[in-house]
Amino acid sequence: MDVVDNLNAVRNGELSRRAFTRSLLAAGVGLMTAPLLPRRAMASNPDEATIFTWGGYDIADFYPSYIEKNGVPPNFSIFGGTEEALTKMRGGFVVDAAHPCNAGLKRWKQSGLFQPIDTSRLSNWGDVMPELVNMAENVDDQGTWMAPFDWGGTSITYRTDLFELEGEESWDMLWDQRYGGRLGSLGSGGDAWWCGAIKAGVPFKDIATDDAFERISAVMREQRPLIRLYSDDTTTLEQALASGEMVAAMTWNSSAVALQYDEVPVKFAKPKEGQLTWVCGIMLHKDAPNVDKAYEMIDAMLSPAAGQFMIGEYGYGHSNARAFDEFDDETLVGLGLSKNPADILGAGHFMIPQDQNWESRMNETFEMIKAGF
């Protein structure tokens, strides 16, 4: 249908209003159904493994040996957050493997949707760092639940030219009254609450106590008037840091890497209290339709080649110790990583998986504080 022609026809009085409305309707129906067409056209290949993962992991470079063997990358399905993913899977969405993080491990296990991983089927398993495999809740009498894949830190990215450091780098930077209204934070309690615990000096093993809730709430309330924006969207925080709208913000390492790549003078702080460390990994669905391919896919993700891509391009740590061999010390330190990843992991604070009731209570409390209560 030629829209321009229609407009001309209306202008010249050749087309009645009714006919015009009808062609508008046709155009509308066309627009509405257009998204359905390509989706059907590129409907996922049922013979390949499907991974349910974060945006940004849906590129071929993470799956080198899988592609070598099968000619195509696995199918991707994307989520924006692990809660959303778990909700969708509990609603009946079946994939071969998913990509949660250690903080959710306990609840993901409890959902009964996953099976332990047979690590003997993974050729790269021997190089996976034991500190990551043995994180809380991961290995029990039933086996290993999550194959660790990527890890990194949550800390403060700050503008070295705009933020005047007083003494050492510290979480106090995000509570600095001098920069009220020019600080930013990740909006999800999954990061912010744990950072608040570090600031409040609450040991993570006590994080479920009432006393911990009170102390963390107090520091979060103190911080709230200083925060310009709580955002779940890292790009928003990165743009605000780049423009100088914010001078410091709580981010993941990748934000600092992205900004440094654009030559914005920023640094990813190593707070003296320690940064928050997280590990994400792959869990196998109990009804995975392509189990064999799923193992091939996980093995590919754990390979040093995938790891080098992740470290070099994303600035995140990888679980395969050999992936770090390609990089010199200077590069790794610049990324907030190290030749000896155990150092970084040991210096940081590992989230301890909590149950659903804690998660709900924490999110409720944090939302109330963000709303000003």
Partner 1 sequence: MADVQMSSAPSARSQRPSGLRSMLYKSETARGYLLLSPALLVMVVGMLIPFTILIAMSFWTRDGFDFDTTMSMANYQTAMDVPIYNAFLARSFWISGITTVATVLLCYPMAYYVAFHVHRNKMLWIILMTLPFWTSYLLRVFSWKVILGYEGVINSGLLGLGLIDAPLEFLLYSQTAVIITLAHAWAAFAILPMYVSLEKIDRSLLEAAADLGDGPARRFFRITLPLSIPGVISATFLIFIPTTGDYITPALVGGPNSPMIGNLIQLQFGAVNNWPMGAALSVILTLWIAAVGLVFLFVTRKSQESVV
Provide the binding-site residues for partner 1, judged by CB under 8 A.
7, 10-11, 17, 20, 81, 83-84, 87, 90, 107, 110-111, 181, 188-190, 224, 227-230, 240, 243-245, 355-357, 359-360, 363-364, 367-368, 370-373
Q: How would you classify the pairing of strands 227-231 and 317-318? A: unpaired
Least distance in angstroms from the C-beta of 278 to partner 1: 16
Least distance in angstroms from the C-beta of 112 to partner 1: 9
Q: Look at the block and give the residue holding tokens 């107090």.
A: 218
Least distance in angstroms from the C-beta of 3 to partner 1: 10
On whether the CB atoms of residues 109 and 286 are closer than 8 A, the answer is no
Nearer to partner 1, 74 or 196 (CB): 196
Q: Which two tokens stand for residue 221?
A: 């309330």
Least distance in angstroms from the C-beta of 331 to partner 1: 31
Nearer to partner 1, 68 or 164 (CB): 164
Nearer to partner 1, 28 or 203 (CB): 28
User: Which H helix or E strand runs over 278?
Assistant: strand 276-285
CA 91 to chain CA centroid, nearest Å = 22
Give me the helix-helix angle, 189-200 and 356-370, nearest 10°: 80
Least distance in angstroms from the C-beta of 274 to partner 1: 25
Nearer to partner 1, 95 or 240 (CB): 240
Q: Which two tokens stand for residue 267?
A: 């640094």
Nearer to partner 1, 299 or 359 (CB): 359
Nearer to partner 1, 36 or 371 (CB): 371
Q: Which two tokens stand for residue 224?
A: 């709230």
Beta-carbon contacts of 21 under 8 Å, excluding residues fewer than 6 positions away, are: none
Give me the helix-helix angle, 17-33 and 3-11, nearest 10°: 160
Least distance in angstroms from the C-beta of 271 to partner 1: 23
Nearer to partner 1, 145 or 309 (CB): 145
* Burial class of residue 257, CB neighbours in 10 A (0-12, 13-18, 19+): buried
Report the amino acid identity of residue 360: S
On whether the CB atoms of residues 251 and 204 are closer than 8 A, the answer is no
Terminal-to-terminal C-alpha distance of the chain: 55
Nearer to partner 1, 81 or 274 (CB): 81
Least distance in angstroms from the C-beta of 361 to partner 1: 9
Least distance in angstroms from the C-beta of 249 to partner 1: 13
The DSSP symbol for 172 reads: G
